[in-house]
């Protein structure tokens, strides 16, 4: 047990190796949690719906954040071959698995950070 603890302590001496740091770097930030939460609430959203729902985000930034989340396999992008272009976003099972954690963070924040 003590050896295992020492390995853990040594591993976390570098913050970049900490699972929480990795989570925050990849899924944290200003916009990704909001995008994920909106898709949890609405199931499927189009680009323009997300753009209208998130105050202050530029279309370029939204596009980049969606690409990042797609690359992480948190969201799925479905493009329809129509004019004008129709693209829908939804959470993958991996993305849906964040619901409990994000709900807990939201509840903790409401109780402790107001």
Domain boundaries, the chain: 31-112
CATH number of 31-112: 1.10.10.10
- What is the model's pLDDT at position 69? 97
Question: Rounded to the nearest 5 degrees, what angle is found at the Cα of 105, between the Cα atoms of 76 and 52?
Answer: 50
pLDDT band at 18 (very low <50, low <70, confident <90, very high): confident
Average pLDDT over residues 54-65: 97
CB atoms < 10 A from the CB of 18, how many? 13
At 40 the three-state DSSP class reads helix
Cβ atoms of 34 and 54 closer than 8 Å: yes
Residue 1 has pLDDT above 70, yes or no: no
Residue 75 DSSP class: E
Lowest mean pLDDT among 19-23, 48-52, 72-76: 19-23
CB atoms < 10 A from the CB of 65, how many? 21
- What is the model's pLDDT at position 42? 97
pLDDT greater at residue 23 or residue 63: 63
């Amino acid at each position: 047990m003590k050896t295992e603890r020492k390995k853990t302590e040594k591993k976390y001496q570098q913050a970049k190796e900490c699972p929480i740091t990795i989570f925050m770097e990849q899924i944290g930030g200003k916009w990704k949690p909001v995008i994920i939460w909106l898709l949890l609430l609405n199931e499927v959203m189009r680009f323009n719906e997300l753009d209208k729902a998130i105050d202050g985000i530029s279309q370029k930034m939204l596009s980049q954040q969606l690409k990042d989340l797609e690359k992480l396999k948190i969201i799925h992008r479905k493009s329809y071959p129509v004019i004008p272009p129709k693209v829908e976003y939804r959470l993958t099972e991996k993305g849906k698995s964040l619901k409990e954690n994000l709900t807990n963070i939201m509840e903790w924040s409401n109780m402790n950070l107001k």
